[in-house]
Amino acid sequence: MSFIGKMLGLILAAGKGTRMRPYSNAINKEMSLIGDSPVIEYNVKALADAGIKKAFIVLGEGKWQILEYLRNGSRFNISLSYLYQDMGEKGENKGTAKAIQTAEEWINEDFIVIYGDSFFHPYSFLKEEIELHFSKKADVTMGIYMMKEHKDYGVVKIVDGEITDILEKATSEEVENVKINNMFPVNSGPIIFTTKVFEYIKATKASPSGEYWITDTIRIMIRDGRKVIAYIIPKDVFWRDIGRMEHRIEAEAYLLRKTTALSFI
């Protein structure tokens, strides 16, 4: 039985891109070019290719370039709508959990969250992740990328396919204990949720930095006995978080190598 098409998409694109300044002062980080397309376009096309018919994009202050470029999504064979994440006067509504919460009134079925500045290639694994989510009747299905190093990323503990903990800023010993085949399971996304997540977001407290993180929400769900499973992204998939300039350059170099190689076939 195919579950493709029975899901909504949600792309998070409200962040200010502070790690890419001064570049991001002029260009929204999600509009950074990888090859001949902005990184967010790859994500929109991936949702459409996975059979998703409608997606919401969460924008923040100054992110009008994304709306102007993507518009209603018709040229990508998907219907796009836009939501605004009001960070608050003092930034009291910042973070990925608050970004997802902006969609609560608009979503009444399972949905897949993609970070707008994430670059995956190829992106064909999305269908498989969606199928796994429904077949396992999971509350949360986290896309996990296996890496030799884990610096700057949270890692997860996986037991029999289920995620039992998410480790952020963990000790070296804690991190070593979650290795699989000498690789670190890193929380890269995409993440699939049931609508149950919204009630847990309300119970999520701000981090020491004052931001509300969806990983903290998922931790609460794990402690409450909700089914949180791991989808291991195939090893031939390339992934970079384009929120850092050096990662954008690495993604550009990767795509250049791929297209150059194809041109000689």
Q: What is the tally of structural domains in the chain?
A: 1
In a domain, 191, yes or no: yes
In a domain, 14, yes or no: yes
For residue 186, what is the domain's CATH number?
A: 3.90.550.10
Q: Is residue 22 part of a domain?
A: yes
| Residue 66 forms part of a structural domain | yes
Residue numbers of the domain that contains 131? 8-263
- d(C-alpha 86, C-alpha 101), whole Å: 11
pLDDT confidence bin for 170, thresholds 50/70/90? low
Give residue 21's pLDDT.
66
Higher pLDDT, 242 or 205: 205
Model-level pTM? Answer: 0.94
The DSSP annotation for 132-195 comes to HHHHTT-SEEEEEEEES--TTS-EEEEETTEEEEEESS--HHHHHTT-BTTBEEEEEEEEEE-T
Average pLDDT, the chain: 91
pLDDT score of 4 more than 90: no
Which pLDDT does position 68 carry in this prediction?
A: 97
Q: Considering only 63-72, 129-138, 169-178, 194-203, which range has the smallest mean pLDDT? A: 169-178
Please determine, for residue 265, whether its predicted confidence score (pLDDT) is greater than 50: no
Residue 264: per-residue pLDDT? 42
> Residue 202: its pLDDT value, please?
97
Query: Is 1 inside a domain boundary?
Result: no
SS3 101: helix
Q: What is the pLDDT of residues 195-240, one digit of tens each?
A: 999 999 999 999 998 999 999 999 999 999 999 999 999 999 999 9
In angstroms, the first-to-last Cα distance of the chain is 37
pLDDT digits (tens, 9 = 90+) for 15-70: 876 666 666 677 899 999 999 999 999 999 999 999 999 999 999 999 999 999 99
* % the chain with pLDDT above 90: 77
Render pLDDT for 106-127 as a digit per residue (tens, 0 to 9).
Answer: 999 999 999 999 999 999 999 9
Is residue 2 in some structural domain?
Answer: no
Evaluate whether residue 146 is within a structural domain.
yes
Q: Confirm if 229 and 161 have CB atoms less than 8 A apart.
A: yes
Instruction: Calculate mean pLDDT across residues 73-82.
Output: 98
How distant, in Å, are the alpha carbons of 31, 36, 234, 256 from that of 259? Answer: 20, 11, 20, 5
57 domain-assigned:
yes
pLDDT confidence of residue 175: 83
